[in-house]
Amino acid sequence: MATAGQNLSLQGPFILLGFPGPPSLRAGLFLLFLVMYVLTVAGNLAIISLVGAHRSLQTPMYFFLCNLSFLEIWFTTACVPKSLATFASQEGAISLAGCAAQMYFVFSLGCTEYFLLAAMAYDRYLAICLPLRYGGLMTPALAARLALGSWLCGFSAITVPAALITRLSFCGSRVINHFFCDIAPWIVLSCTDTRVVELTSFGIAFCVILGSCAVTLVSYVYIIVTIVRIPSTQGRHRAFSTCSSHLTVVLIWYGSTIFLHVRTSVDSSLDLTKAITVLNTIVTPVLNPFIYTLRNKDVKEALCRTVKGK
């Protein structure tokens, strides 16, 4: 059996299967992925530009939003351009090193998003539940530490499973049943014992998802209790409007990723997994700018001022 070093140097390229079908289907998917990628990059860049151009938006809440928008750009870029090349050339060849790098960045950015959403939930908890102390508690320094911690934890979490996966041996088929290098299809292709990789990946996914979900859930329990206790309808509406965009993004993100990552083993549902992955790697990033623009009064006002040239 080949050693880990031989695996890295001697193994040939893998083939990303993508979405097999007639040329018309591939052309349609290429156009769909391209349009959504352009909208994702343009929409999230617009959010970052708006926050940078308007002093009224330079608060911790929008600082976290800029981090989220920046993350979404790179999260989508990590997998969509290669998918577009696969659709265009009908050849999804990718080296072992390239596949490992793509997998590392996609999952690191995904983990970072969990932590960022939890930090944003904590920020909304302080703003709604402790409004008089918010300015003293959520200082720019604390916001920066929370954002930096989210990025560091996200990129550290996936290091161990990524290292374990690169040590696997692949003796048979080299066709990856996905449109990017996901962990599950790689495990399916391996001819060595993958129990350690599966358990490690499950354990890290469980800790990341459960930990960030707990912070988010507890924050929103306190937020909802506080909003319900507000005597006026207008006050309740105003308080809820400050966190409705974030809550919408959280529901979409967790709804699409819990199924994908909290599993004790790799099953035969790779086609279903591939379809659901489209939701959180391509659809969710393109929706976020619209959610924050259409449901956020401050962002809409800043956008109107920008359009009018004021």
Q: What is the CATH number of the domain that holds 147?
A: 1.20.1070.10
Range of the domain at 280: 4-307
SS3 176: strand
Whether the Cβ atoms of residue 137 and residue 124 lie closer than 8 Å to each other: no
Q: Please return the burial class of 222, using the count of CB atoms within 10 Å of its CB with bins 0-12, 13-18 and 19+.
A: middle
Rounded to 10 degrees, the C-alpha dihedral 57/63/66/70 comes to 160
pLDDT tens for the chain, 310 residues long, are 344 444 433 456 888 877 777 778 888 888 989 999 999 999 999 889 888 887 878 889 889 999 999 999 999 999 899 888 888 877 778 888 888 899 899 999 999 999 999 999 999 999 999 999 999 999 999 999 999 999 999 999 999 888 888 787 777 777 887 888 888 777 878 888 888 888 888 889 889 988 999 999 999 999 999 998 888 888 888 888 888 888 888 888 887 776 665 543 444 456 667 777 787 788 888 888 888 776 677 777 777 777 776 5
Q: C-alpha angle with apex 23: 17 to 24, nearest 5 degrees?
A: 120
185 φ/ψ sector (left φ>0, alpha ψ -120 to 50, else beta): alpha
Q: Cβ atoms within 10 A of the Cβ of 62, count?
A: 23
Whether the Cβ atoms of residue 124 and residue 219 lie closer than 8 Å to each other: yes
pLDDT value at residue 294: 67
Helices (H), the chain: 4-10, 23-53, 60-77, 80-89, 96-129, 134-137, 140-157, 159-165, 183-189, 195-228, 233-241, 244-261, 270-278, 284-294, 297-307
Q: How many domains does the chain have?
A: 1
pLDDT value at residue 260: 64
Q: Quote the radius of gyration of the chain (alpha carbons, Å).
A: 21
For the entire predicted model, the pTM comes to 0.86
Whether the Cβ atoms of residue 298 and residue 57 lie closer than 8 Å to each other: yes
SS3 182: coil
